[in-house]
A = this chain, B = another copy of it.
């Protein structure tokens, strides 16, 4: 049927096969775009388009001025999702070094939706934290965390040497949040993701919105919105 626009997809296919059957290995540099042009007898743009597809699939990464390289098999993280899931603990059990860094924070008025979810008065205030998390030194997720200010008074004083949110909450407030629900969705990377996670655009991201309780108070305590690298994170659920 429609077999005119085969060239570009064909090249992507051939390159994919070369990677998957191991004739170019993990970490290897692909021939330069100019070389591939000559090799396949096509234009610059066709090659670039084919390579873009491989980038989206996570098979290669490209570095301006250096070349295009077959992705190192990133250590895939298994992320068991339970009501007690804690990023740091989770990874340590898999013998992976975990760390978190606070990118920024503010105290602000809650939105209408945040009021509803956290059962706040409109004049209550909230902490809004942005956290990046690392596994073995590699950035894997961006998280926005919302906490009611009156639940964690003076939180700001503990933020200077931030590593693990839940550790902090336990140490200073004796609170161990319990996750009560999560919503998972597959989305595409945006500017923010590319900047912080060091990944290209148009790459899959697992978005997780969770609500956690403070079990002693039995009330909603935390809203968190995480964006996890799709190529690194597998989310496990047991019933």
Most chain B CB within 10 A, of A53, A180, A182, is at A182
Q: Residue A33 at the B interface, CB < 8 A? A: no
Q: Is the CB of A202 within 8 A of B53?
A: yes
Q: Is the CB of B181 within 8 A of A239?
A: yes
Q: Is the CB of A204 within 8 A of B205?
A: yes
Q: Is the CB of A206 within 8 A of B179?
A: no
Q: Is the CB of B239 within 8 A of A180?
A: yes
**How many interface residues does chain A have, given as a range?**
35 or more
Take A184-B206, A186-B206 as given contacts and tell me if A81 and B237 are in contact as well, using a CB distance cutoff of 8 Å.
Answer: yes
Q: Is the CB of A238 within 8 A of B185?
A: no
Within 24-80 of A, Cβ neighbours of B (below 8 Å) are at: 45, 53, 56-58
Q: Residue A83 at the B interface, CB < 8 A? A: yes
| Interchain residue pairs with CB less than 8 A apart (18) | A82-B239, A178-B239, A180-B239, A181-B236, A181-B237, A182-B239, A183-B236, A184-B184, A184-B206, A184-B237, A185-B235, A186-B204, A186-B206, A186-B233, A187-B204, A187-B230, A188-B230, A237-B237
**Cβ of A33 to closest chain B Cβ, rounded Å:** 16
* B residues near A238, Cβ cutoff 8 Å: 180-181
In the complex, per-residue mask of A90-119: 1 if CB is within 8 Å of any chain B CB, else 0: 000000000000000000000000000000
Within 210-239 of A, Cβ neighbours of B (below 8 Å) are at: 228, 230, 233-239
Q: Residue A201 at the B interface, CB < 8 A? A: yes
A234–B209 Cα distance when bound, in Å, is 10
Q: Residue A168 at the B interface, CB < 8 A? A: no
Q: Is the CB of A184 within 8 A of B234?
A: yes
Q: Residue A203 at the B interface, CB < 8 A? A: yes
A203 partner, pick from B184, B188, B206, B237, beta carbons under 8 A: B188
